[in-house]
Amino acid sequence: MLISEENLKIRNQILDFDTKIEEMHLGFQKYCKGLQSSMPDWESLERQLIVFSRRKLIDLELSRHLDRVLYKFQNRKKIWLKWVQEFHGIS
C-alpha cells in the first residue's frame, strides 16, 4: 500500500509539472504579444524539474511519463527563447 501511495504522489507531481509547462507556454504567448509585462520564470521551473528528475523512480510507467514531461519542457524552452528573441528583435 505504501508503494502505491508513493507512486500516486509522484504521478501527481509529474502531472503538476506538465500543467506548469502548459501555463508557462500561455504566459510566454502573452508576454510576446505584449499582454504581460514580465517574462515567465522558466529557469525556476527548470531547476525544479532537474531536482525532481534526480529521484530514483522504480516504476517504469512513471519514469516514462517523467521523461515525456522533461522532453516537453526542453522543446517548449527552445520555442520560448526563440519567441523572446523575435520579440526583442535579436537575431
d(CA 85, CA 91): 7
Residue boundaries of the structural domains of the chain:
59-85
Q: Is 29 exposed, middle or buried (0-12, 13-18, 19+ CB in 10 A)?
A: middle
d(CA 71, CA 49): 11
Q: Where are the alpha helices (DSSP H) in the chain?
A: 2-32, 42-53, 60-87
Instruction: Provide block-wise average pLDDT over 10 residues at a time, the chain (91 residues).
Output: 83 97 97 93 98 92 96 98 90 60
- Give the per-residue pLDDT at 88: 85
d(CA 70, CA 53): 8
Residue whose C-alpha is closest to residue 33's, from 90, 89, 83, 91: 83
- Give the per-residue pLDDT at 2: 65
